[in-house]
Every structure is written in structure tokens, then in C-alpha cells.
Amino acid sequence: MVIPRNLQKPLLDLASSMPVVAVTGPRQSGKTTLCRATFPELPYVSLEPLDIRSYALEDPRGFLQEHADGAIFDEVQRTPDLFSYLQQEVDERPQPGRFILTGSQHFGLSAKLSQSLAGRIGILNLLPPSLDELTHFGRPLDDLWTVLWTGAYPRIYDRSLDPGRWLADYATTYVQRDVRQVLRVTDLEAFTTFLRLIAGRTASEVNLTSLGGDAGITHPTVRAWLSVLETSFICQRLPAWHASQRKQVIKASKLHLLDSGLACYLLGISEPSQLRHHPLRGALFESWVASEITKSRLHRGLPQRMFHFRDARGLEVDLLVQAGDRLTAVEVKSSATIARDFFSGLKRLGEYVEAHKSHLTYQPRVIFGGEEGQNRRQGKVLPWRQIHDVAW
């Protein structure tokens, strides 16, 4: 089943001006389906089969001449040497939207494309569907904990698969195999332990020393593994926001797994009901909110520009989104009941912003696990299912 994706309009817009457009992202996020549905007139060529890949690598000029009128090249991370020949091809015929490329982000695809095709390519990122996109599958999304436990990979919804079994296969087939190949990891047990520790630290500040000690690996190894997991869109790190740019970059980042279903699998949560009383339910909900806001921005072709806030006096705010002169601050509460203290941190942060960054328009928001929102004097309270009613 092909569902509408929010990235389709930015994809069409970019293809109207650039001769090459690349869509990158994690495996199984729907990149191929989106590109084939958006550009049905272009022939589709997968570079995964060995014979096609060998043709592209051994005779790149002949391969591109065969597709001189344009094509969708899938899994292009398999043929990075093709990019320099593609540069020459589009320089001779810079027709907009001529070549559409897709590939898995964790192979460093964006950096290689940017180096080889600078000024000739537009790059977009596609994550698994956001909550508003998942509704198009026609599957009920009435229960928050089922949504979090299931995650958002489209194949689960399209084929009505068992999420626990599919995510187990995904973790083994893609996360462990592909990421381990990139990192040349030989100790599977250590890497599996590291993945589970990452899941257990979702929505927490990153402490590389502590993480390395618990996983039994060195500080440089933690840094390398975490970096690849981040560029693979398995997790994301949100930097700390501060009025001083210098201070902003030295504060600890906050870690979030990008798919709540994968996080639940790594944590051994075997059914949605376990989430209701799980000690990490609040952290998993916060990471889900962070992921949905990330998708909202990336799928509109916008930069991420997301942060968290913590100061030495104990003031913490879960998420901040800066768009131009607008700063949206978000507190995330898994409770289904609105409490008076939900806005206490947001109020104090508003005072801080007014004192140090008064040119910013400050917008406080609360996203909670209930069903009915409120427009309070202190800010707007959004139920989880209305997270995409806001233009993040």
C-alpha cells in the first residue's frame, strides 16, 4: 500500500530545480516507495543486485549512457565511485529532476554525494512515517502505548505484521549487520549490549565515560559507535540550548532513540500493556515526541534545529525548537491528567529567554498522554495525538 508522505512536496520542489536529488534515511523507511510513486515516468534501477552493481562500477559511462534520459537509482551507497561520473553527465545535461537517488544514510552517503556533486544535488531525509502519515494505513491508532510499542516502520502497518517479531529481525538484519560492517565490529555481544544500554538511556544526557564503562568498551569506541548509530538515524543527540553560543556547544547533549518500537524491543518490552507501569515510560514517550517533531521538520525539508535545556540551578525543559526568531519550548508528560506544575519549568525558561534573548518569540507547549487539550494562559496543552497540529 502506497500512502501519502509529507516529504513528497519538498521532493517535487527540489526536483524542479536540481538535476540530481537524493533521498537518504534508515532502511525500511519508505524511500524507494516514495520515489517510485513520485516519479513514475522514470525507470527504476536497483544497485543491490551484484550484476547491476558490477556494470555500474566497471563501466560507469556505459551504465549512465543506458539511462541518459534519467532514472531512479536505488541503494546508491553501493556504488560511490559512480558519483564522479554522474557529475560529468549532469554538467553536460543539467536537466532538473533527471536523476533521483536513494540510499541508506549510515554509509556516509550524504557526505560522499555532497563532495562529488556539490551544487548539482539536493539532499532530503526520509524517516519512517510520522503519526499523521500512519493514519493513512487505516489501522486504529487509539492507544498511546500500542503506538509507542509498535513503532513507525511502514512494513509493520502495511502487512499487519507482529511488531515484536519484525523489529527483532530488523535489529538483527539491519542494525547489527549493517552498522557492525561499517564499524568493523567483531564482538557481537559487546555491540548488542551497547545497543541495549543506548535504549535504556533514551531521553537522558549522554555520558560517554559511564556508557563505555557499562558496555566494557573504550571512550573512543563509544564515540565512534554512537556517531554511526546517529548518522544511521537509529538515534539522535539534541545539543543543549543556551543564550551563549559558546556555552551551548559545551553542554551535554541529550540522547533519543528515533523509533520507540525499536527501543521497546531492545528493552525487552514484549507487549504494550507493560509500558503503562514501566520505569522508562516517560523517557520513551519523550523520545517519541522528539522523533515526531524531527519528522515534522525533516519531512518538510527543514533543518532540525532542536535542543534541550538544563542549567546549574536545576531548571530543565525537555525540548526546544528554534525556527528563525521563534523559540518553541516543550515539556513532555506521559500522564493522562494535566497537573498544575506542568508549566513551572516553561515559565522559568520564559523569564530566562526574556532576560537574555528578548528578540525571540517564546512559545511554551506541553504535550501529554491524555486525550483533551487546553489553551491555558501559561501556554497550550496538546494531547499526544494532536502533536502534528503544530507547525514545528
Q: Along the 392 residues of the chain, how does pLDDT read in single tens digits?
A: 899 999 999 999 999 999 999 999 998 999 999 999 999 999 999 999 999 999 999 999 999 999 999 999 999 988 989 999 999 999 999 999 999 999 885 556 777 787 888 889 999 999 999 999 999 999 889 899 999 999 999 999 999 999 999 999 998 887 767 776 777 776 778 888 999 999 999 999 999 999 999 999 999 989 988 988 888 889 999 999 976 655 554 478 999 999 999 999 999 999 999 999 999 999 999 999 999 999 999 999 999 999 999 988 888 999 999 999 999 999 999 999 999 889 999 999 999 999 988 899 999 999 999 999 998 888 899 999 999 999 89
Helix ranges (DSSP H) in 117-238: 131-134, 144-150, 154-158, 163-170, 180-183, 188-200, 208-215, 219-231
Which amino acid belongs to residue 47?
Answer: L
Distance of CA 357 to the CA centre of its chain: 29
Instruction: Give yes or no: residues 51 and 22 share one domain.
Output: yes
Instruction: Give yes or no: residues 91 and 169 share one domain.
Output: no
Instruction: Give yes or no: residues 176 and 292 share one domain.
Output: yes
Q: Of 125, 147, 173, at which residue does a domain stop? A: 125
CA distance 131 to 227: 27
| 86 in a structural domain | yes
Any bridge partners for residue 99, and if so which?
20, 71
| 206 in a structural domain | yes
Number of other residues whose CB lies within 10 A of the CB of residue 282:
16
Q: How many domains does the chain have?
A: 2
| 1 in a structural domain | no
| 220 in a structural domain | yes
Q: Of 57, 92, 125, at which residue does a domain stop? A: 125
Instruction: Give yes or no: residues 237 and 378 share one domain.
Output: yes
Helices (H) and strands (E) in the chain, counts: 18, 14
Residue with cell 525540548: 319
3-state secondary structure of 286: helix
CA distance 100 to 329: 36
CA distance 392 to 390: 6
Residue 36 has which C-alpha cell?
A: 517510485
Instruction: Give yes or no: residues 118 and 139 share one domain.
Output: no
CA distance 215 to 213: 5
Residue 265: predicted pLDDT? 96
CA distance 99 to 91: 12
3-state secondary structure of 363: strand
Residue 32 CA: distances (Å) to CA of 49, 165, 305: 15, 23, 27
pTM, full prediction: 0.94
Instruction: Give yes or no: residues 251 and 385 share one domain.
Output: yes
| 17 in a structural domain | yes
Instruction: Give yes or no: residues 84 and 224 share one domain.
Output: no
Of 339, 363, 335, 336, the residue nearest 349 (C-alpha)? 363
Residue 356: predicted pLDDT? 86
- Is residue 352 within 8 A of residue 338, CB to CB? The reply is no
Write out the residue range of the structural domain in which residue 55 sits: 8-125
Instruction: Give yes or no: residues 236 and 347 share one domain.
Output: yes
Residue with cell 553560543: 245
| 182 in a structural domain | yes
Any bridge partners for residue 72, and if so which?
44, 100
Q: Of 92, 125, 158, at which residue does a domain stop? A: 125
Instruction: Give yes or no: residues 189 and 254 share one domain.
Output: yes
Instruction: Give yes or no: residues 215 and 356 share one domain.
Output: yes
Residue 242 has which C-alpha cell?
A: 543556551
Instruction: Give yes or no: residues 94 and 232 share one domain.
Output: no
Instruction: Give yes or no: residues 175 and 38 share one domain.
Output: no
Helix ranges (DSSP H) in 203-301: 208-215, 219-231, 245-250, 260-266, 281-298
| 229 in a structural domain | yes
- CATH code at 12? 3.40.50.300
Strand order through the sheet with 121-125:
44-46, 71-74, 99-104, 20-25, 121-125
3-state helix, strand, coil in the chain (%, to 5): 50, 20, 35
Any bridge partners for residue 322, and if so which?
327
| 2 in a structural domain | no
- Is residue 284 within 8 A of residue 383, CB to CB? The reply is no
